[in-house]
Chain A
Amino acid sequence: MIAVESLTASKGRFTLRDVSVALPAGGYGVVIGPAGAGKTTLLEVIAGLLRPSAGTVRLGGTDLRGVPPEARGVGLVYQHAFLFPHLSVQDNVAYGAADAAAVREVVDRFGVAPLLDRAVESLSGGERQLVALARALARRPRVLLLDEPFSALDPRRRAQVRREVRALHAAWALTTLQVTHDFAEAGLLGDQAILLDGGRVLQAGPPAEVFRRPATPYVAEFLGAENVLVGEVRGSGDAAGAMGADAAVDAAATADEDATRAVVFASGPLTLHAVGDVPPGARHAVIRAEEITVSRDQAHDSARNRFAGRVVEVAAHGPLTRVTVEVRGVPLVAALTTHSARDLRLEPGIAVVVSFKAMAVHLC
């Protein structure tokens, strides 16, 4: 439905270079990126407010070159709402409305009825965003573009509005592209995650896939992967079994994993076991903290990677605790529930065993 191809555009200091995005009709895409990545610029090009210097934008198969914003059927909600300050809330919502029924529907859905008689200046940031959403949707656009639309809402309201947007998206089969810098939001909402940084698309795909299998170490760190180790592939397939003593000792364990796709990866003093297809030139191993378990004894589990180390830091963040364990001079970060960290009586200096499955090691 939305097909952006090889788009190049610039606005002030923001530049998009060779950006391609594909979102099927009725899809929910989430563009993730840090401030200055060009996220808003991308939305403005799709809305027709900014002319690209190269590339095409198609909506539903139609090339939009030369089609003005008012004829694109695209709704846009900016982060700062941009409600028209000289109009009442009612007049804002009705500004471009398809009909009175559409106004009533969005007013009910987003609970803005009590705000209709208020002056725009008197609304809170969250209320403004609600009204801006209602204003965009009252036009019944084919495509909805959202720029950090939930950022000014308090957490309870945010969950509720997210649900409403999701419900409307489903009910109207509304193709939606949302911009956020919040990874959690991408996972919660999107069918498609698009990582944008420095004006380029780093990676795109289903959020779970992007999180589990980052294409580059930069993406991995960008998405908050705690353990990114530099090293090299020492062998793969059957040959891996012959590489080094570590692999030979655990030979029995390979039975539960596809031996033909087993890979050995050497990173300084650590030798890691991975499994799966190795992209050519892979020089990084990524292990997410939640994939690493920490125990105080040598109890055997099926994990293919197992190292003795010493706890150097324990940091509790609410229900989760991050434990940093030094293994032969290499710090590995594990995420445990605070409850189990307490049960293990973890504290700096304690000897522990960290383990993770070969499946948890992603090479890129």
Chain B
Amino acid sequence: MDARAVSTSRLVSIAAALAGSLLLLFLAAPVIGLVGVGGAEGLARLGSDAELRDALLLTALCATAATACAALGGVPLAWLLARRDFPGRAVLAACLDLPLLIPHPVAGIALLLLLGRDSAVGGAALAAGLRIVGTPLGIIAAMAFVAAPLFVSAAREAIARVDARYEGVARTLGDTPWRAFRRITLPLAGRGLLAAALVTWARAVSEFGAIVVLTYNPKVVSVLSYDRLTSHGLSEALPVAAALAVLALVPLTLLRALRADAERVR
């Protein structure tokens, strides 16, 4: 490589780093600012602000329930998508991306249409004594709707990474399909499935648009921060928003640790 080529390639690197830094700054600055300004007060409020405490707990519990629902249906679906060739597989995969693409209030309205008291499903649930809209069930439904596709797509990748021939060998060694999945694929894809669950949980925690349509009260943290902003102004919203940002950092940190562990094993 001659001197000019070297200097050109260095120029390209510098330009790329500059452009990248600007974007990173734009992404990181608000979050850092938020946690920096409101973080300490947010943590301090945890002791005194019962509404914030309850909202955090509700958010974490509902996100966990939504993630469990996503995993329950998502793991079998991911296995089918990863392992079986069937008519309409491509269409199904495309449909799974749909919830990621429609605006979240629209998703909330669609869910309201399905689960509201005047709908068939919502009506039947209500007749069985189960209110969905305006309860934590509505929160879970909204969270699951927007976050489950993430789980399925990440889980599909995790399962596809485990060579199907491991399952094949297990079958020739006497395992039924379910047993082979449980003894071989599940443990081998375990780390990937856990990562999928973490991403799903994080996405559920950060949801606002769909939840606010279905269940305004009881409030999850995102709704609470919006509520405080509109009724009390920025100073009241800030600690709540910061607490939510800190909560979102938990799965992010776990995910990083998981990936680092995977690197070390490999």
Contacts and interface: CB of A to CB of B under 8 A. Distances in A.
Contact of B171 (A49, A84, A85): A49
Contacts of A306: none
Given A82-B165, A84-B166, A70 B184 contact: no
Contact of A75 (B168, B170, B172): B172
Contacts of A135: 173
A86 B174 CA distance: 18
Task: Tell me what chain A mostly uses at the interface: helix, strand, loop, or mixed.
Answer: loop
Nearest to A49: B168
A200 interface: no
A74 interface: yes
A131 B171 CA distance: 17
Given A85-B188, A86-B187, A96 B173 contact: yes
Contacts of B51: none
A82 B176 contact: no
Interface of B: 163, 165-166, 168-177, 184, 187-188
A75 B168 CA distance: 11
Nearest to B163: A82
Contacts of B175: 70, 96
Interface of A: 44, 47-49, 68-70, 72, 74-76, 78, 82, 84-86, 95-96, 135-136, 139, 141
Contacts of B163: 82
A86 B169 contact: no
Contact of B174 (A48, A84, A139): A139
B187 A76 contact: no
A100 to B, nearest CB: 16
A255 B177 CA distance: 68
Contact of B172 (A70, A84, A86): A70
Of A48, A70, A72, the most chain B CB neighbours within 10 A belong to A70
Contacts of B168: 44, 47, 49, 69, 76, 82
Nearest to B162: A85
A136 B165 CA distance: 14
A74 B172 CA distance: 6
B176 A78 contact: no
A95 B165 contact: no
B176 A76 contact: no
Nearest to A139: B173
B173 A86 contact: no
Contact of A68 (B173, B176, B184): B176
A141 B174 CA distance: 10
Contacts of B166: 82, 84
Contacts of A44: 168
Given A76-B172, A82-B169, 11 more contacts: A49-B168, A68-B176, A68-B177, A70-B172, A70-B175, A75-B172, A78-B169, A82-B165, A82-B168, A86-B187, A96-B173
Nearest to B180: A70
A86 B162 CA distance: 12
Nearest to B177: A68
Nearest to A77: B169
Nearest to B188: A86
8 closest A-B pairs by beta carbon, nearest first, are A96-B173, A69-B171, A96-B174, A49-B168, A76-B172, A70-B174, A86-B187, A82-B169
Contacts of B171: 47-49, 68-70
A199 B174 CA distance: 29
B188 A76 contact: no
11 contacts: A49-B168, A70-B173, A72-B172, A75-B172, A78-B165, A78-B169, A82-B168, A84-B188, A95-B170, A96-B173, A96-B174
A99 to B, nearest CB: 13
A95 B175 CA distance: 10
B224 to A, nearest CB: 43
B223 to A, nearest CB: 42
A44 B171 CA distance: 11
A136 B176 contact: no
Of B163, B168, B170, B172, the most chain A CB neighbours within 10 A belong to B172
A74 B174 CA distance: 9
Contacts of A78: 165, 169
A75 B188 CA distance: 22
A286 B175 CA distance: 50
A108 to B, nearest CB: 20
A39 to B, nearest CB: 15
Contacts of B187: 86
Contacts of B169: 76, 78, 82, 84
Nearest to B190: A86
A49 B172 CA distance: 8
A44 to B, nearest CB: 7
B158 to A, nearest CB: 14
B127 to A, nearest CB: 43
A28 B185 CA distance: 33
Contacts of A48: 171-172
A69 B167 CA distance: 11
Given A78-B165, A82-B163, A82-B166, A69 B188 contact: no
A85 B165 CA distance: 13
B175 to A, nearest CB: 6
A42 to B, nearest CB: 14
A70 B180 CA distance: 10
B108 to A, nearest CB: 42
A80 to B, nearest CB: 8
Contacts of B172: 47-49, 69-70, 72, 74-76, 96, 136, 141
Contacts of B184: 84
